[in-house]
């Protein structure tokens, strides 16, 4: 039953996840719950799903990106597909993917002075690692123990206005070409990725949990330019 619930969203070769602009954060440094739209690049006119954070308003203001939260992944009709849960963290963050309240996998961030390293687990077994060199590199490649490519997450540039004044980032999730675009005769702005094997649906859920964690760890901007006396800190 678990793969059947995940299949409508996660069987796609590529996904785009776009974060909504949080105007209260920009204007008043008031941390809002994060909202995302999930799109299929082949059918980008209509969302195929949504992500909605649920967290405590006080924790959001005090703890900022270190706050504990859950996030619900739904289809376009609002039906829950799976959730992710991220506890409060101090040094290294972790995020858990859960289906119907049952944990299926986890992503642990590994501390490094400048590199961005994440270990991905399905149950108790590690299936991938991400070792991003840091700095201005916005591509996060999932590789297996033999350094074969399994999937990739790219944070896309959305224009200088978005990047300077908002944290409304966009992420391209590439699971590898399953031949769908060729069969349908459709094109996509996302280049297909060659992978050593297709990720299982639960593994893909863990990869999407990683995307949410990346956005919170590195790309959540603090606002407050609307009221100069309000200064937000990390």
Which is higher by pLDDT, 188 or 98? Answer: 98
Q: Name the residue among 134, 138, 163, 169 with its Cα closest to residue 152.
A: 138
Q: Where are the strands (E) in the chain, listed by range? A: 14-19, 35-39, 49-54, 69-75, 80-86, 94-99, 102-110, 116-122, 125-132, 139-143, 149-156, 170-174
pLDDT score for 189: 65
How high is the pLDDT of residue 231? Answer: 30
pLDDT score for 188: 58
The CA distance from 65 to 218, in Å, is 9
**Inter-CA distances, 45 with 12, 117, 232, Å:** 16, 34, 36
Please tell me the predicted confidence (pLDDT) of residue 225: 36
pLDDT digits (tens, 9 = 90+) for 35-57: 999 999 988 788 999 999 999 99
pLDDT band at 218 (very low <50, low <70, confident <90, very high): confident
CA dist 60 and 216 (Å) reads 12
- pLDDT tens per residue, range 195-215: 999 999 999 999 999 999 999
| Average pLDDT score over residue span 176-195 | 61
Q: Is 147 helix (H, G, I), strand (E, B) or coil?
A: coil
pLDDT confidence of residue 47: 95
Give the pLDDT band (50/70/90) at residue 139.
very high
- Band (pLDDT 50/70/90 cuts) for residue 191 is confident
8 contact partners, CB below 8 Å, separation of at least 6: 75, 81
- Delimit the domains of the chain by residue range: 1-219
- In tens, the pLDDT along 101-114 reads 999 999 999 999 99
CATH dotted code for 1-219: 3.20.90
pLDDT score of 177: 63
């Amino acid at each position: 039953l678990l793969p059947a619930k995940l299949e409508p969203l996660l069987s796609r070769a590529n996904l785009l996840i776009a974060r909504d602009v949080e105007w209260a954060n920009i204007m008043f440094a008031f941390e809002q719950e994060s909202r995302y739209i999930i799109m299929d690049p082949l059918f980008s006119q209509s969302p195929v799903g949504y992500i909605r954070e649920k967290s405590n308003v006080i924790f959001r203001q005090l703890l900022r990106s270190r706050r504990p939260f859950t996030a619900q992944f739904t289809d376009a009709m609002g039906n829950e597909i799976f959730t992710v849960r991220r506890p409060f963290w101090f040094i290294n963050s972790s995020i858990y993917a859960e289906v119907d309240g049952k944990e299926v996998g986890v992503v642990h961030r590994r501390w490094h002075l400048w590199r961005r390293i994440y270990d991905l687990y399905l149950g108790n077994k590690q299936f991938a690692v991400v070792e991003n060199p840091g700095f201005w590199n916005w591509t996060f490649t999932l590789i297996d123990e033999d350094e074969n490519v399994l999937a990739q997450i790219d944070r896309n540039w959305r224009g200088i206005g978005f990047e300077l004044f908002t944290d409304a980032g966009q992420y391209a999730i590439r699971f590898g070409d399953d031949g769908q675009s060729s069969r349908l005769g459709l094109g996509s702005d996302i280049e297909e990725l060659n992978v050593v094997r297709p990720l299982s649906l639960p593994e893909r859920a863990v990869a999407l949990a990683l995307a949410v964690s990346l956005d919170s760890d590195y790309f959540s901007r603090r606002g407050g330019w609307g009221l100069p006396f309000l200064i937000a800190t990390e």
